[in-house]
Amino acid sequence: MNDNLIFIGGLRDYKPTNEVSSWNFKTKIFQKLPSMNQSRFWHCVVLLNDNIYAIGGLALDEELTSVEMYSVSNGWKEIKNMITPRRHAGAIVLNAKIYVIGGYNGSYLKSVECYDPTTNCWTQCADTNEARDLCGATVHNGQIFVVGGFNGVRCSSTVERYDPQRDVWTKIWSLSIGMKCVNCISFDNQLWVIGGHDGGKCINNVSVYDGSNDKWLAKKSMPVAGYYYCFSALQN
């Protein structure tokens, strides 16, 4: 946001925090920003219309429905709560709306909900075909893709694609292995899957989705295996 990488909440000394700070790409300087109203970790964060949204997460042992919005001029303010409390969810922005996908709140979730900032309302969308905790999520070619995650039994290798016009989820070609805490990102007009955890260890796999042949192509592995759950691509 405005040449800054923003760090929002998380754990400090094993306790959830509401602290927020930024690191500027040009000056290489950290600075503190106004704190959130709610301490939270394992929450979702998205950027929409130059506002940052911190969504759900965990406060001690309670999953949250609360959502806060940050603007440079007004700081943090609470907005409409989600319908379902959740942590470990995926969240993306598409067509000026926020979609929150899956997660966990005592059970593994298939539920999906959508926030419209013009009405300050959350609405229920079609469920994913499979429950997904700690999945990767991104927008690619006007549709939402979710990758992997934990389904309550094992790390999933399945991938689903969401058509917002039809409100339909469709399973597409699966990954070669099941994984959670994986990052999925659209970059250079391609869908990339990076790192993650296969239930036993961190992995360094990198794959690219070939839509013309509906399959995944292996790329050069990351030099260090890891979760890589937060990931951003800077494009000029």
- CA-to-CA distance for 205 and 26, rounded, in angstroms? 31
Nearest to 215 by CA among 198, 191, 232, 186: 191
Q: What is the share, in percent, of the chain residues with pLDDT greater than 70?
A: 96
Residue 228: the pLDDT is 61
Q: What is the pTM of this model?
A: 0.93
Nearest to 105 by CA among 124, 89, 121: 89
- CA-to-CA distance for 106 and 214, rounded, in angstroms? 34
Neighbour-count burial of 174, counting CB atoms closer than 10 A to its CB (0-12 exposed, 13-18 middle, 19+ buried): middle
Q: For strand 67-71 and strand 62-63, is the pairing parallel, antiparallel, or unpaired?
A: unpaired
Provide the CB-side half-sphere exposure for 144 (13 A, CA): 30
Question: Which CATH fold would you assign to the domain 126-230?
Answer: Neuraminidase (2.120.10)
Residue 230: the pLDDT is 58
What are the DSSP calls for 89-113, one per residue?
Answer: -EEEEETTEEEEE--BSSSB---EE
Residue 227: the pLDDT is 67
Ranges of residues in the chain with a pLDDT under 70 are 227-236
